[in-house]
Amino acid sequence: MAGHGYESGRLNLPFVGISTFGKRAYVADWDAIEADVAVMGAPFDFGTQFRPGARFGPRAVREASTLFSFGHAGAYDHEDDATYLGPEVTIVDIGDADIVHTDTVKSHANIETGVRAMLKAGVLPVVIGGDHSINIPCIRAFEADCAEKGPIHILQIDAHLDFVDERHGVTEGHGNPMRRAAEKGYVSGITALGIRNVSSTSKEGYDAARAMGDDFLSVRQVRKLGAEGVLARIPEGARIYVTIDIDGFDPSIAPGTGTPSHGGFLYYEVLEILQGVAKRHEVVGIDLVEVAPDYDPTGSTPILAAQVLLNFLGFIFHARQSGGAPAAG
Amino acid sequence: MAGHGYESGRLNLPFVGISTFGKRAYVADWDAIEADVAVMGAPFDFGTQFRPGARFGPRAVREASTLFSFGHAGAYDHEDDATYLGPEVTIVDIGDADIVHTDTVKSHANIETGVRAMLKAGVLPVVIGGDHSINIPCIRAFEADCAEKGPIHILQIDAHLDFVDERHGVTEGHGNPMRRAAEKGYVSGITALGIRNVSSTSKEGYDAARAMGDDFLSVRQVRKLGAEGVLARIPEGARIYVTIDIDGFDPSIAPGTGTPSHGGFLYYEVLEILQGVAKRHEVVGIDLVEVAPDYDPTGSTPILAAQVLLNFLGFIFHARQSGGAPAAG
Amino acid sequence: MAGHGYESGRLNLPFVGISTFGKRAYVADWDAIEADVAVMGAPFDFGTQFRPGARFGPRAVREASTLFSFGHAGAYDHEDDATYLGPEVTIVDIGDADIVHTDTVKSHANIETGVRAMLKAGVLPVVIGGDHSINIPCIRAFEADCAEKGPIHILQIDAHLDFVDERHGVTEGHGNPMRRAAEKGYVSGITALGIRNVSSTSKEGYDAARAMGDDFLSVRQVRKLGAEGVLARIPEGARIYVTIDIDGFDPSIAPGTGTPSHGGFLYYEVLEILQGVAKRHEVVGIDLVEVAPDYDPTGSTPILAAQVLLNFLGFIFHARQSGGAPAAG
Amino acid sequence: MAGHGYESGRLNLPFVGISTFGKRAYVADWDAIEADVAVMGAPFDFGTQFRPGARFGPRAVREASTLFSFGHAGAYDHEDDATYLGPEVTIVDIGDADIVHTDTVKSHANIETGVRAMLKAGVLPVVIGGDHSINIPCIRAFEADCAEKGPIHILQIDAHLDFVDERHGVTEGHGNPMRRAAEKGYVSGITALGIRNVSSTSKEGYDAARAMGDDFLSVRQVRKLGAEGVLARIPEGARIYVTIDIDGFDPSIAPGTGTPSHGGFLYYEVLEILQGVAKRHEVVGIDLVEVAPDYDPTGSTPILAAQVLLNFLGFIFHARQSGGAPAAG
Amino acid sequence: MAGHGYESGRLNLPFVGISTFGKRAYVADWDAIEADVAVMGAPFDFGTQFRPGARFGPRAVREASTLFSFGHAGAYDHEDDATYLGPEVTIVDIGDADIVHTDTVKSHANIETGVRAMLKAGVLPVVIGGDHSINIPCIRAFEADCAEKGPIHILQIDAHLDFVDERHGVTEGHGNPMRRAAEKGYVSGITALGIRNVSSTSKEGYDAARAMGDDFLSVRQVRKLGAEGVLARIPEGARIYVTIDIDGFDPSIAPGTGTPSHGGFLYYEVLEILQGVAKRHEVVGIDLVEVAPDYDPTGSTPILAAQVLLNFLGFIFHARQSGGAPAAG
Amino acid sequence: MAGHGYESGRLNLPFVGISTFGKRAYVADWDAIEADVAVMGAPFDFGTQFRPGARFGPRAVREASTLFSFGHAGAYDHEDDATYLGPEVTIVDIGDADIVHTDTVKSHANIETGVRAMLKAGVLPVVIGGDHSINIPCIRAFEADCAEKGPIHILQIDAHLDFVDERHGVTEGHGNPMRRAAEKGYVSGITALGIRNVSSTSKEGYDAARAMGDDFLSVRQVRKLGAEGVLARIPEGARIYVTIDIDGFDPSIAPGTGTPSHGGFLYYEVLEILQGVAKRHEVVGIDLVEVAPDYDPTGSTPILAAQVLLNFLGFIFHARQSGGAPAAG
């Protein structure tokens, strides 16, 4: 950074500088990704059934992430007495997958290409949506990875089950991703948390989900079980892919989303489950979807998304360093 | 719907189509209401003492209700393993009561006319405010009904007691409805939940309320009692009229209202009480008031209103079908 | 309306009642459209290249149209000393075309079906978008009509030329409609007004447009010519289809749109051209697109759209009654 | 101000300090008003027929007025080479008229009381609405003043004629004030500028207006006449009461109002007419109404209102000092 | 108030009148403060590291406070069966400290001057920020007071520790105040509640805080301890200065702030601690900071601030009257 | 870009990808700037006297600039029949100057360092503010450049004269920059356009400006002169530095600013002057300031800023290529 011409370095306040994820370096060449984590945007929202705008999710989450990016030497958390994401953890931002308006198939294929590049580079892939349909190409991209390293188990934080098979020919909208995932031979199961209220999934969808290995729990059921009880339901030793639909959270803290559903999770409820997963499991992929920032003029929603992602990444690499979870394999 | 010319029917996504309540049929002729439930708007807000705008409550709640209207065969709730509001429950939207600017008396009279028409038709009347003063003509409309079927007990969800007798000549503002109701011979009592903080009701009003049979509890008192404890305080066998002031909820989920008051109810707290009431009592009328949508650009408030109303209607008719609550009449 | 039970009729203030277009009757059966004008929503926005949200255009324009709907006997305009849209002009709202998320082809086909139904019924079709790609199925629906009655000339109000042939396989996005129209044998020409600044159409697109009969003018060029000068460039006797992209207007009065472009038209500039067209030509179809209401919290944009549409309809039927323009057919 | 303890005085930036009008002194005792100008709020909005919220007009205009209040020695205008509102012009803020919810008659009476107090004190009364119905008590308050000093002529800046006699019993809503004024013996005439588009006034209302001495002009008619041409239509020597409905301005600069109407006045068009009136006539009263600030998150609307009022007051007292207009009395 | 000319007094609804704090009298002369409580604004926000706008905190909190100001005889709270802030408690608003743009030193000095004036007058000083750096001059102003009456203990409600010593030369930004306070000989200790997540304070800052007598607890730690447990950690007999950073609260109820942090306090959690402090300790000073109202279009944040301040003042004076806490002195 | 793994290249829609200015390459090393133009953010806003938030100007303008960045081969303008900013013009984004909260001197010094680096690299420096005080270090940075190449003449687009010498010790706030510039020996004069209404500059400031060579014109004066008339007042052959305060534009198109002033410039008025300057003069530096995006939820203001900057850069390099203006150097 000497190039900036400031002999004393930069204070680098959150509002200063280009908005890459966590103000980390931008890597435009997907053949040259070298890091522990790579973050990619997937600004696709033609799959949504109510309010659009998740295409601006990646930009908003990147901008919000700058609020948490002013530590030079990692983020000290006094509750855990731990420093997260110190200089030994490298994160890069590889920009966005290319999106083609009117064309769902091509846009999804471009997202898949990006995740394949990340997996090929051996980094932990983090994808910021976009609507929940972008999970479909993300999971598709894991086919080769799973062929080599074994199946993945999906941990879903969401208000909606997203287990519609097909309606009016639609199979890759934001109501379909978990059904598509469950069909894959390399997805060993799904743990879905926060599922509540009416949605596009019908009773038949719920029955199918149960039959296909989807263990879904409502917010109240999760609260009764507690974090430990929930964690106990995830198969031991499973490689975990985490998909976080921001509407799994309560509208009080995540109003900026397309299909809000009251009665959702509060912050620590999700955080503690994610921390537990980081300690017990290898986390092999993450997506966070459905942040539609223009519906939240307070900015709370993208701040929540950034805060959750950065904390979760902190937990994962802290656990890897502590030996608490197997390193990527 | 064959007339729409789509051989395969309509997908009917939430954002598509005219915004009637729950996308149900609009019935303009109040002499021809045939249904289980009729929904009417009462867009009157000259009774408010701080921020106006509840006149747009009916439009906003109707629009929000479309988010929950894409099930073809009712809404399946996996927590209850029940399908609510299937095709056997008929709901119609009868539009709005006519409102006359500057004229409270005439506007209230028009609201009363609408509720009378609904009661005459034998449907469950649901009125969407408008400010809480619209409860006054709603209750007035029940006089004949109660003469025939017996008195009603009012269940009030609210931040404010609304028990002012008169100030500066005002007797029918949004601070007066429960006092006006308590004066009726056919109102046997009031259970008021969520009452907290300073309001337009003075100490004398609280004393009068107690003396006139108003059993009021704060949010913290309700939390200590639990849903069961609260339900036990409502007289067994009572015919229940429910009036929900959206400011009974916490500003975190219902900021779009005229006189927000921190420390309010969260979603499940109210939902579980309403579910209990639906199981134990005949519900004979509902109003939901004080949604002022323009103060909530996130849309969370009208979504909450729609979600509560649709769930409550689901509970009521599920209980009627299960024999858990006496059918109307 | 006697069914409403008000002996003295309704005052029917703008904020009262269900939001159909102009508070006119809703006709669900597309085989039973009987009126002079039918209005249909086309809430499709997967074709947009920047900010989405035009799917809420139809709802917003309908709601805004209620502001201009409180005259009982038409709207008196003192400047023209004329009463527009009196009871002799019948307008119906036929709801929305069905939209299928992720599927542009099916959604467009459903829009085409609606326009065909309107043309079959012999009404003037008015379609509210949705993004500008919805013009493609609208024009397609005119094929049979033009085979019978002769070609149409398109009058386009827009910031962008929308003359892209194909990019990355996209041929039916919101940058393509005028190219698609120009390819039709039954489109005799295009007059495009307001075209300015950089857009998705490249120099080659402009050259092709000129070659294919598109007479495009910038805002400044229109101002130099004046309304009369512009009207003189439209072939005499042409049957006119008018497509209004709200971004043809200046962002100062139409900020609620996906791709705003400064330097656009002010209100009277467009109004006077539309009034002139109504006097000289038979107007056979109208669409108004790209109102994305959630980007304009003031509501000015949908109010503009409603005000333009209602005035234009008034001009058209006033001219028909005065013999100033040939009646349909 | 020495009491503030700052030896060097105060910089007094616009965002600092209590928001009275122009940061002038607040006078609570209406029997002790001593100044050249007194400003009173009339936060009444039950008279509006669409979007409410003008009750917050006085607060918003006061707050916006602080932006123009950081000159110590008056405001120098380089275009006029004049210093306006120097220390020799005293302005006081007398707070708001008391408003009684649900009660139009009492609220209007309280407004009238305030204006009477100002007239009794011999100051120029400036009233900030509230909706346009507040003009009714303002004009009523002039009865005694006119009995003594002669009739007033009203200069109205507005989109709407506001000449409804009665609808559904309403005679004092925001569609009625000019009819009520025209009925007064001491109102010699009305010049109404900006009248356009459909409104609650029917053709009969326009005919009555003409018959009762209302000279109304549309925006385009005013533009053709020019400021001088318009000023020439106001009877020489008339004592002028100016009523400014903010919706007379274009929605591009005044979106924060209840019933916006496109095609309105731009800033200088109104300013130059007001400057001309100040030079030629004695201005005896002013109201500015219909600022509904919550519909304009940019704040442009109350800033416009404050800027217009402060400039107009500057013109009036500059003219009085220059002998260009007769002093009060 | 007889001067207002209303024989029957004023209804004085919340939206009516000048926005001083609690609609209490404004005292411009800081040498003539006579009251129990004085409220001053400190609209300074150059110390913030992310979103600015806390300079509008004082205006917004004053305006919000009018919602709670319509009781004539104090505010009756039915949960406590107590009437708070009756006529025996006098509160005055002394306006704002003068702020000088670009100049932190001078602005802070002006704030200090105001607090000194309040302390000299013997009132309880309440300062509304502004960003948290304004606590630095507030604490500085207590030097003489503490020399006379003994040291103060600071109770801090906050998301952030604010214990940075110096970064890039900055020692008086909003990340520094608690470090500056801890350095004072007359500050005996700090109890910091709500501290969570990453902030500008590094691990070294946390270590220094512990070493310098700062007892900090996270939200979850406070929840485990309960209000009583927390109160027990504050030294008995301590004179308490309370500094409330609104971001100590959860973004769900306080989104209008510069650096929101999820996982914060809910309303009653803070209220009950403040009530306990009021009962057990002499409270000698209060500041409430970081309300940036323009980031919360719902208005919930300033309403929370006003509600907390007014309740806290009620508790303090109720306790003084009941002998539960030592009177000032 | 082959590294992205898309064989067919990228469609690169505006909403896709990292938000650098115009989606151009980010250059972190200020010793390695190689381009025709370099763009730097100066997110400083402690110099503002009303609404803050210009610190988010650089981010907002960068994000808005993506709307105009989807041409592959430059932007074709049909009015000029010219292609602007083709691949032969290289633009880089060098990020932001480092800002130190509470410290105006250090922040300004860091801005100066950035401009010096750009000048040293021989590029055209473009600085996005930030408030107008950031012009002070920008001009300071030109000292050496002017010593070598001769003085600069400043073209200012602004509502305010910004010619305050000193108030309360403030010499480098946003009311001072033109005074500071005029004091420099290497600033040969100032042409200030758009100056209107009351501001922080007093009559003495206006007199000093005239005396020190500031040729200021109001909006109406500019309109009377026309673009050509205005251009004729700029000394022939002058090297021009252009400083654009976004509040020079009308609030109708630029409401997102700190101190809006009605009656400002419309789009083409400024554009045509800038185009004329580009043709006649060497433009040696540009800053665009006072975009406070959070006050404009429509996004029109940053879109205007981006549109003006990109067009102006297009004009400059088109003129250089055409030989219409002397190349740098």
> Secondary structure of B105-116 in the HEC alphabet?
HHHHHHHHHHHH
CA distance C210 to chain B (A): 37
Chains touching D (at least 3 CB pairs under 8 A) are B, C, E, F
**Test the F interface: residue of C164, C252, C259 with most F CBs within 10 Å:** C252
One-character DSSP codes across B19-66: --GGGPPB---TT---SSEEEEEE---TT-SS---GGGHHHHHHHHHG
Q: What percent of chain C has pLDDT over 70?
A: 96
- CA separation for the pair A224, E114 (Å, rounded): 52
pLDDT digits (tens, 9 = 90+) for A102-152: 999 999 999 999 999 999 999 999 999 999 999 999 999 999 999 999 999
Nearest by CB to residue D102, choosing from B52, B104, B295, is: B104
The SS3 call for residue B121 is coil
Q: pLDDT > 90: what percent of chain B?
A: 90
Q: Indicate whether D327 belongs to any domain.
A: no
Q: How far apart are the first and last CA of chain B?
A: 33
Partners of A203 on chain B (C-beta within 8 Å) are 73, 76, 83
Band (F189; pLDDT cuts 50, 70, 90): very high
The pLDDT tens digits of the residues spanning A2-38 come to: 455 577 789 999 999 999 999 999 999 999 999 999 9
Q: Measured between alpha carbons, how far is E42 from B290 in angstroms, rounded to an integer?
A: 34
Secondary structure in 3-state letters for E185-207? CCEEEEEEECCCCCCCCCHHHHH
Q: Do F67 and C259 touch (CB under 8 A)?
A: yes
Q: Do F172 and E102 touch (CB under 8 A)?
A: yes
Among the partner-chain residues F218, F220, F262, the one whose CB lies closest to the CB of D304 is F262
- Chains meeting E at 3+ CB pairs closer than 8 A? A, B, D, F
Residue B224 resides in a domain: yes
* Cβ contacts of E263 on chain A, cutoff 8 Å: 267-268, 271
Decide: C11 and B99 in contact? Cβ < 8 Å: yes
Asked if C46's CB is within 8 angstroms of A101's CB, the reply is yes
**Identity of the residue in B46, B106, B294 whose CB atom sits nearest the CB atom of D101:** B46
Q: Checking DSSP bridges between strand A75-77 and strand A82-84, what pairing results, if any?
A: antiparallel
Structure tokens at B240: 């229940």
F53 vs E52, E100, E103: nearest CB: E52
DSSP character string of C92-111: EEEEE----TT-HHHHHHHH
Q: What is the DSSP letter of F282?
A: E
Q: Is residue E329 part of a domain?
A: no
Rounded to 10 deg, the angle between the F57-65 and F300-322 helix axes is 70
pLDDT recorded at residue B324:
60
Residue pLDDT, tens place only, B272-305: 999 999 999 999 999 999 999 999 999 999 999 9
Best A15, A26, A113 member to test F by mutation, with max F CBs in 10 Å, is A15
B59 vs B128: CA distance, rounded Å: 9
Q: How far is CA C4 from the centre of its chain?
A: 34
Query: What per-residue confidence (pLDDT) applies to E2?
Result: 41
Torsions phi, psi for D100 (to 5 deg): -115, 115
Does the structure show a pLDDT above 90 at D72?
no
Looking at residue F324, what is its pLDDT? Answer: 60
Q: Which positions in chain A touch C111 (Cβ < 8 Å)?
A: none
A11 vs E167, E250, E263: nearest CB: E167
Which pLDDT does position C326 carry in this prediction? 57
Confidence at residue A218, expressed as pLDDT on a 0 to 100 scale: 98
Mean pLDDT computed over every residue of chain F = 94
**pLDDT tens digits along C102-137:** 999 999 999 999 999 999 999 999 999 999 999 999
- Cβ pair B206:E76 closer than 8 A: yes
For residue E226 the two structure tokens come to: 């309960």
Which of chain C's residues have a Cβ under 8 Å away from the Cβ of F249?
Answer: none
Q: Which of D1, D6, D8, D18 to mutate to test the interface with E (most CBs of E within 10 A)?
A: D18
- Strand pairing partners for E84? E75
**ipTM of the assembly?**
0.97
* Residue of F67, F71, F298 lying closest to C296 (CB–CB): F298
Give the residue among B51, B60, B44 at the shortest CA–CA distance from B114. Answer: B44
Spatial CB neighbours of F2, under 8 Å, sequence gap ≥ 6: none
Distance CA C273, CA B191 (A): 63
Residue F267 reports pLDDT greater than 70: yes
Residue pair E181/E158 in contact by the 8 Å Cβ criterion: no
Residues of E with CB under 8 A from a CB of B: 8, 11, 13-15, 67-68, 70-73, 75-79, 83-84, 250, 252-253, 267-268, 271, 297-300, 303-304, 307, 310-311
> Domain count of chain B?
1
Q: Are strands F82-84 and E214-217 parallel, antiparallel or unpaired?
A: unpaired
User: What's C265's domain CATH number?
Assistant: 3.40.800.10
Which single residue is written with the structure tokens 């999971």?
A139
Chain D residues in contact with E1 by the CB 8 A cut-off are 28
Residue type, B304: L
Q: Could you read off the pLDDT of A53-110 as tens digits, one per residue?
A: 999 999 999 999 999 986 667 889 999 999 999 999 999 999 999 999 999 999 999 9
CB-CB neighbours of F1 under 10 Å: 12
Residue of F nearest to A56 (CA): F15
CB E291 within 8 A of CB E54: yes
SS3 E117: helix
Summarize pLDDT for D146-202 with one digit per residue, the tens: 999 999 999 999 999 999 999 999 999 999 999 999 999 999 999 999 999 877 788
User: Per the CB < 8 Å rule, is F262 touching D76?
Assistant: no
More confident: B153 or C326:
B153
Q: What is the mean pLDDT of chain C?
A: 94
Q: Identify which of A206, A250, A262 has the shortest CB distance to residue B78.
A: A206
Reported as a single tens digit per residue, the pLDDT across D25-48 is: 999 999 999 999 999 999 999 999
- C-alpha E4, offset from chain centre: 33
- Residue D71: the pLDDT is 61
**Measured between alpha carbons, how far apart are the two ends of chain C, in Å?**
33
Residue C248 in tokens = 């043809």
Give the three-class secondary structure for A79.
Answer: coil
| Rg of the Cα atoms in chain D | 19
The SS3 call for residue C113 is helix
Q: What are phi and psi of D116, to 5 degrees?
A: -60, -40
Print the domain residue range for E81.
2-322
The answer on pLDDT for F326 being more than 70 is: no
Q: Where does the pLDDT of residue C84 fall: very low under 50, low under 70, confident under 90, or very high at 90 and above?
A: very high
In this predicted structure, what is the pLDDT of residue C325?
59
Most confident range, picked from B7-16, B78-87, F5-14: B78-87
Whether residue A253 lies inside any domain: the answer is yes
Q: What is the mean pLDDT of residues C81-101?
A: 96
Chain F environment of A1 (Cβ under 8 Å):
28
The pLDDT-based confidence of B266 (bands split at 50, 70, 90) is very high
pLDDT attached to residue D323: 74
CB contact under 8 A, A170 and C103: yes
Q: Per-residue confidence at D1, pLDDT binned at 50, 70, 90?
A: very low
Burial label for B116, CB within 10 Å (0-12, 13-18, 19+), is buried
pLDDT recorded at residue B323? 74
pLDDT of D326 over the 90 cut: no
pLDDT of residue C71: 60
In the predicted structure, residue A326 carries a pLDDT above the cut 70: no
Longest dimension (CA), chain A: 65
Residue B162 lies in a domain: yes
Which has the higher per-residue pLDDT, B56 or E202? B56
F115: in domain: yes
Q: Which chain A residue lies closest to B253 (C-alpha atoms)?
A: A252
Res A199 pLDDT > 80: no
Using 50, 70 and 90 to split pLDDT, how confident is the model at C3?
low
Closest by CA to F188, choosing from F231, F146, F136, is F146
Residue A13: closest C-alpha in chain F: F99
Asked if the structure places residue F135 within a domain, the reply is: yes
Among chain F residues, the shortest Cα distance to E56 is held by F51
- Give me the residues of chain E with pLDDT under 50, please: 1-2, 328-329
How would DSSP label each residue in D224-268?
HHHHHHHHTTSPTT-EEEEEEEGGGB-TTT---SSS--SS-B-HH
Within C133-273, strands assigned E span: 152-157, 187-193, 214-217, 239-245
In the structure encoding, which two tokens stand for residue D118, read together?
């100002």
Which residues lie across from E76 on neighbouring strands?
E83
Bridge partners, B192 (sequence order) = B156, B216
pLDDT at D329 over 70: no
Q: Is residue A327 part of a domain?
A: no
Best mutation target, C298, C301, C313, to test chain D (most D CBs within 10 A) = C298
- Interface-testing mutation among D262, D266, D294, D304, with chain C (most C C-beta atoms within 10 A): D262
Average pLDDT, integer, range B18-28: 96
Would the CB atoms of E220 and A79 count as touching at under 8 Å?
yes
**Are the beta carbons of B300 and A255 separated by less than 8 Å?**
yes
Question: Is the pLDDT reported for residue F2 higher than 70?
Answer: no
What are the beta bridge partners of residue B287? Answer: B127, B243
In whole angstroms, how large is the CA radius of gyration of chain E?
19
Contact residues on chain B for C6, CB-CB shorter than 8 A: 98, 110, 113
Three-state DSSP at A112 gives helix
* The total number of residues written for chain D in this structure: 329
Asked whether residue C322 carries a pLDDT value surpassing 90, the answer given is no
- Give pLDDT, residue F73: 74
Q: Is the pLDDT of residue D259 over 70?
A: yes
Of D240 and C71, the structure prediction assigns the larger pLDDT to D240
Interface with F, mutate which of C198, C202, C266, C269 (most F CBs under 10 A): C198
Cβ-Cβ contacts under 8 Å for F113 (sequence gap 6 or more): A4, A5, A6, F97, F141
Neighbours of chain B (3+ CB pairs under 8 A): A, C, D, E
Q: What is the pLDDT of residue E124?
A: 98
Burial C223-236 (b: 16+ CB within 10 A, else e): beeebeebbeebee
